[in-house]
Amino acid sequence: MTAYLDHAATTPMLPAALAAMTEQLAVVGNASSLHRTGRASRRAVEESREKIARCLGARPSEVLFTSGGTESDNLAVKGTYWARRDADPARVRLLVSAIEHHAVLDCVDFLVAHEGAKVTWLDSTADGRVEPATVRAAIEADPDSVALVSVMWANNEVGTVQDVAGIAAVAREHGIPFHTDAVQAAGHLPVDFAASGADLLSVTAHKLGGPIGVGALLARRDARLVPLTHGGGQERQVRSGTLDTPAIVGFAAAIVAATESMEAEAVRLAALRDDLIERAMALGAGIRPTGFWEPGDTTHRLPGNVHLLVPGCDGDSLLYLLDAAGVSCSTGSACQAGVPQPSHVLLAMGISESDARGALRLTLGHTSTSADVDAVIDALPAAIERARRAREATAS
């Protein structure tokens, strides 16, 4: 039996989402077609758009469907940069936190390399927070040059939750669009687009119990975006492509179900999280958690996020040894799995390269139980011992 503790990479589909998507898969219809079957598909899409908007505190017209978080981030960052630069050639500076997912970081690198962009990396505290004061100082160094501010809602590796409303208020005060990647937060924390003050917000379905391959960019009606793709202009003339009606229906069913159980589920997962952290620290192996952590807290850290530093080990070795013992986990972002480099998130938080190499991310979700925690604690001592021997052998 496998203990699955990699919900931050993807979480199993919720029964309601699986049932809704399966039913829609049997129905033919292109949502852009004008005949009866097309109109029925369009109705399913728009009803889903309304459900998603309601769960995220947005207007239906602000929900633009995409293929997932990566496309949403690309559209937000590149689309806003191009629109702002075209309107004012001086607007070439991007203010981005150094702990973002690569879906944002690599967009920025592309714009710097090919589109004349400049970037100011926003520092974080030792527990992974980006302070509004840091954003303010970066803006006020040269406010007329800033095209966009982008800071994620909750970190995908260490689970730290940002003061999104505070950062958004600073950006809005200076008339600068603010984007937040809420891929890890949506469905797990209260996410209210209107109340947050953000101009752009990225979400994806498969992190909250929906299908892989569908997500959304929430964009205020006055947000100016240059499209990345061209064709039918299905989504507000900003995003083209035939809409995946079954996936969208599954997305809506998932976020409704996740939202309805969110409060109770956060308490349940935080209890499992805290139990896992405390028992791992008690093993006597020098293990310590990263990011902000306070037992019982469901506000400043994702309820299901456990991120540990295991001294004297390589995270990849631990991952494979735990996998052999029936525990599925991660060393950080799944998009960087297999890359033998320390996490950029941990380095940005001031953690040494040697310590960062021993990182282990274990993330809990709706299928997680105390038996999964037991499985990790049972498997860790032997895995740590073997991983340390392997590092010592490599060093010698």
Catalytic residues: 335
Report residue 125's pLDDT band, with 50, 70 and 90 as the boundaries: very high
Domains of the chain, earliest start first: 3-10+262-395 (3.90.1150.10), 15-255 (3.40.640.10)
What would the mean pLDDT of 326-332 be, rounded to a whole number? 91
* Mean predicted confidence (pLDDT) in 383-391: 93
- pTM of this structure: 0.96
- At residue 396, does pLDDT exceed 90? no
CB 81 within 8 A of CB 147: yes
Instruction: Quote the pLDDT of residue 333.
Output: 47
What is the tens place of the pLDDT at every residue in 231-278?
999 999 999 999 999 999 999 999 999 999 999 999 999 999 999 999
Q: Is 11 exposed, middle or buried (0-12, 13-18, 19+ CB in 10 A)?
A: buried
By DSSP bridging, strand 305-309 and strand 359-363 are: antiparallel
Q: How far apart are CA 135 and CA 149, in angstroms?
A: 8
Give the residue from 286, 269, 261 showing the smallest Cα distance to 364: 269
Sheet holding 178-181: strands in order across?
63-66, 215-219, 200-204, 178-181, 146-150, 93-97, 118-122
Say whether 26 sits in a helix, a strand or coil: coil
Quickly state the pLDDT bin for 390 (edges 50, 70, 90).
confident
CA–CA dist 178, 200 (Å, integer): 6
pLDDT confidence of residue 340: 64
Alpha-carbon distance of 289 to 271, in angstroms, equals 15
- Give the integer Cα–Cα distance in Å for 62 and 220: 6
Tens of pLDDT, residues 153-198: 999 999 999 999 999 999 999 999 999 999 999 999 999 999 999 9
pLDDT at 12: 98
Average pLDDT score over the chain = 96
Q: Please report, rounded to a whole number, the percentage of residues in the chain having pLDDT higher than 90.
A: 95
* Percent of the residues in the chain that have a pLDDT greater than 70, as a whole number: 97
- What are 152's two structure tokens? 């994620």
Q: Which of 168, 201, 198, 204 is nearest to 183 (CA)?
A: 204
The pLDDT-based confidence of 335 (bands split at 50, 70, 90) is very low
